Structure 1
Amino acid sequence: MTTPVAITFDAPDLDGLGQRKGRIALICDGAAPATPAARRIDRQMRGGLARVLASDAWGKVKPGETLELAFPAGLAADALQLVRLPKKASAAEARKAGGAIGRALTEAPLLVLAEGHRSAAELSFGLAARAYDFTPHKSGEKKAPGAVTLAVTAPEAIAAEAAPLAALAEGIFFTRDLVNEPANILTTHDFAARLAAMHELGLNVEILEEDQLTRLGMGALLGVGQGSESPSKVVVMEWRGGGDEPPLALVGKGVVFDTGGISIKPAGGMEEMTMDMGGAGVVAGVMRTLALRKARANVVGLVGLVENMPDGRAQRPGDVVRTMKGDTVEVINTDAEGRLVLADVIWYAQDRFQPSGIIDLATLTGAIIVALGHEHTGVFSNDDAFCDSFLAAAKAEGEGAWRMPMGDAYDAKLKSRIADMMNIGGRDGGAITAAQFIRRFVKDGMPWIHLDIAGTALLKSDSTLAPKGATGWGVLALNRLIRDKYEVK
């Protein structure tokens, strides 16, 4: 997997700044050199830094943004990157500043002069997160980023503060790798194998094969994958760090490729359907993070891995499938397959684990993109307190999330003439009727949240903490929710 750039925490060595090769990033604020490192650099530049900090160009730089000086006079460095970050910066501003540094990372060594800044650990996380680059399928010489040193006045304390953030970065990178991986590589076999390898981190991982799923009665999930050469699977990942408390269950849609099945999608843009396993990818990334940071919580992650392909055995519009719950579903559109996968896995999670709550994640509907664009994930829930806790966690981590309405009136659109329900309810309110469908498989009294990440799992342009492509949205928010609400204190 892609590993985050290694960051060394060390005490500042101001005497050698003038001779330092590579790149230097200087954390500063205001219109004059205010830190020991800034004053030393200003002397090396014969007042050049002071003139830049007093200029209109620097005055237009906002917190978290940078101004770069190439080959600064008086320094041996290739570039001096000035990073505006107030002393009382928020975590979001510190991560943004780190992201700006990470975006400009090259193969040259980098020295980040943060000294006594209280947000140095958050800065390091932003740097690591934005430095992600998915390159396993690019030929030619791959240039690894140069060594990164974060110079701070209390390196051991900052390193300790940054350790759980490093676990977060690795979890996010794991999710991004899975979502970015092409479907001829990330088959259901390969996906399951990557998850099974996490037993080395302390996770208990179990893979349920098709014969087991048949005995369990998962007809909805198996129907989705019956047209593919890749067998359908359910992978269960358990992290037991919280004593005897019932676990929180995370359930992810893992459609490794979605052609739409017999209701085939248009050719344009279909290549992006390699990301239709994004929900499962986020669940995997969260579980990896929890294991790496030894979270004091009980969490179980379950993912349904299938491929939705059209062939002579594929599910047809008009077919009726029986879910593990026992309800029957008339399949009107085979491209509304994710909810069928989630229905069976959610029911299994409740039957086996009796969780304290369930959160499912899926790149489920284009309708949520129409409603919210790519800035917010759609949030649906049957429990106000549970939902509010998640929304607070997402807000604290800067991950956009917006609660959507639900209601019995939408259920009428799912009524079937020949089965207990249809799998779609028409174009209007499509994201809501999808959530209403899933809700039917949540037992009475079970707190539940459904996250439709179709618009946030993968972006066509870069963002503050991610390059173009997979974002890893959700790992931060779910980890924060677990830390704040479920960990044993």
Structure 2
Amino acid sequence: MTDFLFVSPSLPRAGALVLPLAEGFSLAGIAQDADAACGGAIARGLAAASFKGKKGQSCTLWSPGAHLSKVVAVGLGATADARSLEAAGGNALPLIAGEPEAFVASDGLAPALVAAFASGARLRSYRFDRYRTKETAEDKPKLVRLSLASSDVEAARAAWKPLDAIADGVFLTRDLVSEPPNVLFPEEMAERCKGLEKLGVSVEILGQAEMETLGFGALLGVSQGSARAPRMVVMQWKGAPAGSTAAPVAFIGKGVTFDTGGISIKPAGGMEDMKFDMAGAGAVIGLMAALAGRKAKVDAVGLVGLVENMPSGTAQRPGDVVKSYSGQTIEIINTDAEGRLVLADVLWYARQRFKPRFMIDLATLTGAIIVALGHEHAGMFANDDTLAQQLSAAGAATGEAVWRMPLGEAYDKQIKSDIADMKNVGGGRQGGSITAAQFIQRFVDTSEGAVPWAHLDIAGTAWATKDSAVTPKGATAYGVRLLDRLVAEHYEG
């Protein structure tokens, strides 16, 4: 684990030196002093490598002199803002991971930008290696200390503190989503939520008996084929200022710890990926850790429905009709359309119990959203324009992008059932992510009125098949930083 230190500007005596440089740069401050100490080798090396400071560009100079093991230049692009500094920190991390110590010549940057560079490096440093028993020391990162220069050390530390807490939440989510399904099943995932209690989050776990008493027929129908008992976890962070009368904000996550598809079983190829069908719930848990860790001035609730969808003699069948917690009945057409059934009961419960300012659910819900948007955006469906606009802006600020998708009566008609209030899939493959959202909306908008709501289909963004600036290959924790930003900008205080 790397320590991140914020220090006064000075020329490092050893280790790696990192230079964050924008387009049109000229070496200044520590970078200029280091170049002088190296007899101009840094400037000559950057020129020889045609390093221009473009976004995503990097250049490594080995043993340039002055006892430095290497100099790593990373490009910021045309604008040195928080996003570019974060990306530069992430891009720099793999280039210095083999060094015990590195120093960032960030003395010319504002304290908040220094902290953003550190945040990017920390986010990129994530590794899930607990099951690698034969990994050698040479294969592991060696970076023990990353020091970042700042003209205002205290301000940089203050800016870093909430970013560090958010990274803790991101790492918690990545850990949960990365775990194999024989290790992380509903009971175990619920137990891990108890770790949030040390941050001041209250955690309440409901088991099968409690959900049967409540009438969670939709959620329990999904779990009935599994030997693993279902759970619902309610997490509450109460950080609003004394005297606040604002209702809490609510986040709901789909937590299918493994999804075979049930009786409507999935093809074998790639089924191992279905361990991350709980990524929506994982994001909610990580978000609650982030909010509590940085002591967000808001009352927030996080609810996750945790089930395993398995085929067996007791499994739910196509053709079954279940009664949801809302009282609405659902004809099961496809048992692989199970996440919406879980969300149906949990959303209704969240609405009835907490009467929140808004509800946002996250779910790896449909392959159709990947067909529509690829892996670049999550699909966003919303019944409230203001909430949708806020989410879009938060996505642009954090890089966790959303794209608003349509809702409408024509789509809603497609889930009309001949024998129940609705069926759990539409009439064909067309618009599958939209009809899924229409299904979920029936458990949000009621005769009592509509609570502001957004549904984020994160099927294409929950897992990365290659590295990006701040996200190593694997679990992304998509949604944690997006929703933390939403809360910080619009709902605190």
Pairing 1:21-420 to 2, within 5 Å after superposition: 22-29=15-22, 33-55=26-48, 57-59=50-52, 61-72=53-64, 74-85=65-76, 89-104=80-95, 105-118=97-110, 119-140=113-134, 141=136, 143-144=140-141, 145-242=143-240, 243-420=244-421
Task: State the one-letter code of the partner of 1:34.
Answer: L
Task: State the one-letter code of the partner of 2:213.
Answer: R
In structure 1, how many angstroms separate the alpha carbons of the residues matched to 2:310 and 2:376? Answer: 30
- What is the CA deviation profile of residues 130-188 of structure 1, one whole-angstrom value per residue up to 9, with x for unaligned ones? 11111111113563532211122222210111111111111111111111111111111
In structure 2, how many angstroms separate the alpha carbons of the residues matched to 1:270 and 1:171? Answer: 27
SS in 2 for 1:349: helix
The structure 2 residue matched to 1:448, chosen from 442, 453, 458, is 453
Aligned length: 479
In structure 2, how many angstroms separate the alpha carbons of the residues matched to 1:107 and 1:223? Answer: 53
Alpha-carbon shift at residue 90 of structure 1 (Å): 1.7
| Preserved CA contact (<8 Å) 1:116 1:154 | no
- Indicate how the Cα distance of structure 1 residues 63 and 274 shifts in structure 2: closer, same or farther if over 3 A, else same: same
Identity %: 49
| Preserved CA contact (<8 Å) 1:322 1:328 | yes
Alpha-carbon shift at residue 476 of structure 1 (Å): 1.1
In structure 2, how many angstroms separate the alpha carbons of the residues matched to 1:410 and 1:63? Answer: 42
What CA RMSD, in Å, does the superposition of the two structures yield over aligned residues?
A: 1.6
Alpha-carbon shift at residue 38 of structure 1 (Å): 1.6
In structure 2, how many angstroms separate the alpha carbons of the residues matched to 1:36 and 1:250? Answer: 46
SS in 2 for 1:378: strand
In structure 1, how many angstroms separate the alpha carbons of the residues matched to 2:22 and 2:221? Answer: 59
Alpha-carbon shift at residue 466 of structure 1 (Å): 0.6
Alpha-carbon shift at residue 53 of structure 1 (Å): 3.6
Which runs of 5 or more structure 1 residues have no equivalent in the other structure? none
Task: State the one-letter code of the partner of 2:45.
Answer: V
| Preserved CA contact (<8 Å) 2:237 2:301 | yes
Alpha-carbon shift at residue 474 of structure 1 (Å): 1.1
SS in 1 for 2:257: strand
In structure 2, how many angstroms separate the alpha carbons of the residues matched to 1:85 and 1:403? Answer: 29
| Preserved CA contact (<8 Å) 1:249 1:300 | yes
Task: State the one-letter code of the partner of 1:93.
Answer: S
Alignment partner, residue 465 of structure 1: 470
Alignment partner, residue 437 of structure 2: 435
Alpha-carbon shift at residue 452 of structure 1 (Å): 0.1
Residue range with higher mean Cα deviation, 279-288 or 239-248: 239-248
| Preserved CA contact (<8 Å) 1:28 1:35 | no
Alpha-carbon shift at residue 200 of structure 1 (Å): 1.0
In structure 2, how many angstroms separate the alpha carbons of the residues matched to 1:257 and 1:327? Answer: 26
The structure 2 residue matched to 1:13, chosen from 10, 15, 31, is 10
- Indicate how the Cα distance of structure 1 residues 431 and 45 shifts in structure 2: closer, same or farther if over 3 A, else same: same
1:481 lines up with 2:483 in the alignment: no
In structure 2, how many angstroms separate the alpha carbons of the residues matched to 1:289 and 1:152? Answer: 25
Which runs of 5 or more structure 2 residues have no equivalent in the other structure? none
- What is the CA deviation profile of residues 28-53 of structure 1, one whole-angstrom value per residue up to 9, with x for unaligned ones? 34667532212221122211122234
Normalised TM-score (structure 2): 0.94
In structure 2, how many angstroms separate the alpha carbons of the residues matched to 1:32 and 1:374? Answer: 34
